[in-house]
Chains A and B, each alone.
Chain A
Amino acid sequence: MKSLLRTSVAAVVALTLTTFSAAAENVLKWGAQRDVVSLDPYSYGDTFTIAVLNHVYEGLVRYDEKLQIAPALATSWEVVSPTVWRFHLRKGVKFHNGAPFTADDVIASLIRVSDPASPLRGNLPAYKGATKVDDYTVEINTTPNYPLLLNDLTNIVIFDKEWLVANHAEAPTDVGKGVEGYATSHANGTGPFKILSRKPDAETVFEVNKDWWDKPKHNIDKIIFTPITSSATRVAALLSGEIDFTNSAPLQDIPRLQASPDIKVLASNELRTVFFLFNRTDKTIASDITDKNPMNDIKVRQAMYQSIDIDALQKKVMRGLSRNTGSLIAPAIPGYVDALDSRLPYDPDAAKKLLAEAGYPNGFSFSFVCENDGYVNEEEICQAVSSMWARVGLKANLDVAPTSLQTAKFESGKFDVGILGWANEPMIDSFSILVQVVHSKIDTSGVFNWGGWKYPEVDALIDSAGKELDREKRLGFQTQALTKVKDDIAFLPLHQQPMAWAMGPKIESIVQLTDNKPRFWLTMMK
């Protein structure tokens, strides 16, 4: 017993006396709100995953510090014909495993991303095929006069063909096959960092790629990426120096973080606009109105719009950091004009009157599908809006769950009102939202047309924009399309959501662009 006590005392002393050991190299500890879903950038159409994996994988072109398109793995390009683009590839680039980068790798990657099972297929809507001209030249075939190929290619990253073939990963991971894909847990890119180790949901370690083709503008040796889902824990970790950086500082904690002398907060509006979607089919999903769908009546949609007190939402839920909007796109997105931004006034009495006129003086109930891990304070937004709607008699059956579950409901149209945030990335052009969300579901268009809305006139405008090389004319079509959608209240816009990064004293400088993507190859540490 005596010796037992003695060893226990010794153990307790040993536990408490030890401190953190200091590392000689520059290690950046990054605490994120959630993990990347996979190391395979083609496994899931998820902006955050792609942003993280952009440290490892690169595309033919990329956005520079001013969000302009710049050469990356391609050095130059030209339009050969309305349907053919030719790209000249960078020579001397090596993958992390040492294999040289050539035209074969580009072809294999394009085949992989356009595979029918690829969730990223919609990000390359105009792609028709690709051919190798020589080892350092490829040609990409598109639909005629497609104007935005370069924008699309910023997020189409390049894999090593031999590596894909050797590991049977030529096609994107198919969970249904019952075997895990090699690329899900291994990576081999050309980017500034390589993957050292990965434990899903726990820790992923990136190590600097000393053989990177570009001149490094960073001094980081290692990035330790840890998902910390609880926002309170994330803040605690930042305050106590356990992490150096988070790309999602909880809005409610920003004043607290700013008050700390060691912590710097970078907060502004990002490109993403958050809006509500309506089920526009003939039938409701979960409502006390079953013979018809009230959402198809513009009066009902307007009543829902006017019963939302957007200022209260902005002030309380978004802590004054969001930008209220009447438009589906942020001002920085081409296609935006000021006229789009005006909102219908908040007027619950008018809303009640509109509902009565539409034949629902006592309101009705409906399903309201929201996520709890998607947009900034999304669950709180949905709760607050539910109580605003309740005051005009609209009973929302709020259904909150993680994105992966709700996406399945959206894709199968199982919602009456839903929520969506669209950043127009990677295109950074309103054509993105128009072709993927607003357009009817035809071929690769309307992938996110979850509620079955149909506006033939708008479709025609979008189609014209999709084959118009003159930028001004094209944006004219797009603005017109956005105006028509706005006039019919096809969607219910809320705000451009805020982005908030916070960092500890070890970070000297960092580049934050409106696309809300951390770029550690442009980050200096002390």
Chain B
Amino acid sequence: MLAIIVKRIGNAALVMLVVAFIAFMIFQFLGDPVQLMLNSQATQGDRDALRIRLGLDQPVIIQFFTFVVRALHGDFGVSFRNQREVMSLIAERFPATFELVMVSTVLALLIGIPLGVFAAINPKNLAARAARMVSMIGISVPAFVIGIVLILVFSVQLGWLPAFGRGEVVQFGTWSTGLLTPSGRLALIMPSISLALFQISFIMRLVTAEMLEVLRTDYIKFARARGLPDRSVHFRHALKNCMMPVVTMTGMMIGDLIAFALVTETVFQWPGMGLLFVQAVMFIDIPVMAAYLMIVSVIFITLNTIVDFVYLAVDPRLRQAGSGGGGHVR
């Protein structure tokens, strides 16, 4: 068991190192950093001095090593565009994205699970079929189209909800939250719904599929035979048994959501790190692009590794097998 855990962590670290190498290569080859940093008045002497100061005269391996060591210390350099330390920029933006993703996840679970159970219990019911169809639409209509429609209806036509931003936020040291102010909560509604829609449909389908399978098992048949009421059978016995895949899939989805939030953040001008990244891409702000890539990958890999461990703990059979195939949502 311990050997497997060590191996998995080793794998994760190796993958991280390769991601770091990709980030480093972006830095190296997407234009000459010296060219980008200095203004046009700079002389050749200035350029050479900067090249030495940045360590660009060193062999690539040494440069990569320095890059990794600095990244481990959270030092990704200074943004070309904002002229601020990349790490502090991202730290400032992270709470906004985190809050959006968390609220969306909670929404997805709160709506997706009951709908999924409902559809599984009454497969022939018209409402259940409608729910399935709606969930199909939820998966198919692009998030940015939904965002635009929401803004058009709820901000412009009805004037109920703010069209952009986070509203008023409360600051706790370096962390900021919009959950504690009325305007902050209002501002969360539309972005979190448009981000959650895909996950709602996904969780609903997952729960339905798992439930249908569990309901066919002997365990449930015995429970029914014992004369337990339907409600108890469905929720206490059946749902409990299919929560495991739901929880783990949700865990893995969070990584995807953080990445996919950049679309929602663009539509709603949500000041999270996704919006920071999209702007960095437009402006070819390489330090921000590299840092974002690495940070999101760290979160993603960490979540996936944790999910692997959870599976290992639950299902002993997997302890024998090689790499577990990680299902991916997007």
Contact = CB atoms under 8 A, between A and B. Distances in A.
Asked whether any CB of A lies within 8 Å of a CB of B in the complex, the reply is yes
B40 A200 contact: no
A185 B84 contact: yes
Interface stretch (B130-138, B207-215, B279-287, B294-302): B279-287
Contacts of A185: 84
A1 B235 contact: yes
Contacts of A239: 155-156, 159
Contacts of B163: 233, 236-237, 240, 242
A14 B185 contact: yes
Interface in A459-476: none
B125 interface: no
A490 B239 CA distance: 76
Contact of B271 (A19, A202, A237): A202
A178 B78 contact: yes
A405 B89 contact: no
Contacts of A236: 151, 155-156, 163-164
Interface residues of B, number: 50
Contacts of B177: none
A328 to B, nearest CB: 23
Contacts of B323: none
A21 B182 contact: yes
A123 to B, nearest CB: 14
A201 B78 contact: no
Interface string B143-160: 000000001000110010
Contacts of A19: 182, 186
Interface in B159-203: 159, 162-165, 181-183, 185-186, 188-189
From B163, B165, B283, residue with most partner A Cβ within 10 Å: B163
B267 to A, nearest CB: 8
A402 interface: yes
Nearest to A38: B83
Interface string B14-39: 00000000000000000000111111
A229 B269 CA distance: 8
B141 interface: no
Contacts of B84: 180, 184-185, 200
Given A43-B83, A203-B271, A405-B283, A240 B183 contact: no
Contacts of B283: 402, 404-405
Given A21-B183, A175-B78, A180-B84, A233 B269 contact: yes
A276 B165 CA distance: 37
Nearest to A227: B269
A14 B40 CA distance: 55
B81 interface: yes
Given A184-B83, A199-B92, A200-B82, A242 B40 contact: no
Contact of A20 (B36, B182, B279, B282): B182
A3 interface: no
A37 interface: yes
B163 to A, nearest CB: 4
Nearest to A236: B163
A119 B83 CA distance: 14
B140 interface: no
Contact of A228 (B85, B164, B182): B164
B279 A201 contact: yes
Nearest to A18: B182
A179 B78 contact: yes
Contacts of A180: 78, 83-85
A125 to B, nearest CB: 14
B156 A175 contact: no
A403 B77 CA distance: 22
Contacts of A18: 182, 185-186
B329 interface: no
A68 interface: no
B10 to A, nearest CB: 32
A202 B276 CA distance: 10
A443 to B, nearest CB: 12
B50 A201 contact: no
A209 interface: no
Contact of A240 (B35, B82, B162, B279): B162
Interface in B262-309: 268-269, 271, 275-276, 279, 282-284
Contacts of B235: 1
B190 to A, nearest CB: 11
Nearest to B46: A176
A415 B195 CA distance: 41
Contacts of A116: 41
B63 to A, nearest CB: 14
Contacts of B39: 117, 119
From A173, A200, A233, residue with most partner B Cβ within 10 Å: A200
B110 interface: yes
Contact of B156 (A14, A200, A240, A401): A240
Nearest to A197: B171
A259 to B, nearest CB: 13
From B35, B80, B110, residue with most partner A Cβ within 10 Å: B110
B150 to A, nearest CB: 11
A442 interface: no
Nearest to B49: A176
A15 B35 CA distance: 50
A178 B54 contact: yes
The 8 closest A-B pairs by CB, nearest first: A18-B182, A202-B271, A236-B163, A176-B37, A411-B40, A200-B82, A8-B110, A176-B50
27 contacts: A15-B188, A19-B186, A20-B183, A21-B181, A37-B81, A38-B82, A117-B39, A121-B41, A175-B80, A176-B34, A176-B37, A176-B50, A181-B83, A185-B84, A201-B279, A202-B165, A226-B165, A228-B164, A228-B165, A228-B269, A236-B155, A237-B162, A237-B163, A240-B163, A401-B282, A405-B284, A408-B35
Interface of B: 34-41, 50, 53-54, 77-78, 80-85, 89, 92-93, 110, 114, 151, 155-156, 159, 162-165, 181-183, 185-186, 188-189, 235, 239, 268-269, 271, 275-276, 279, 282-284
Given A202-B271, A240-B156, A405-B284, 13 more contacts: A15-B186, A15-B189, A18-B185, A18-B186, A20-B186, A21-B182, A180-B78, A202-B93, A202-B165, A236-B163, A240-B162, A402-B283, A405-B283
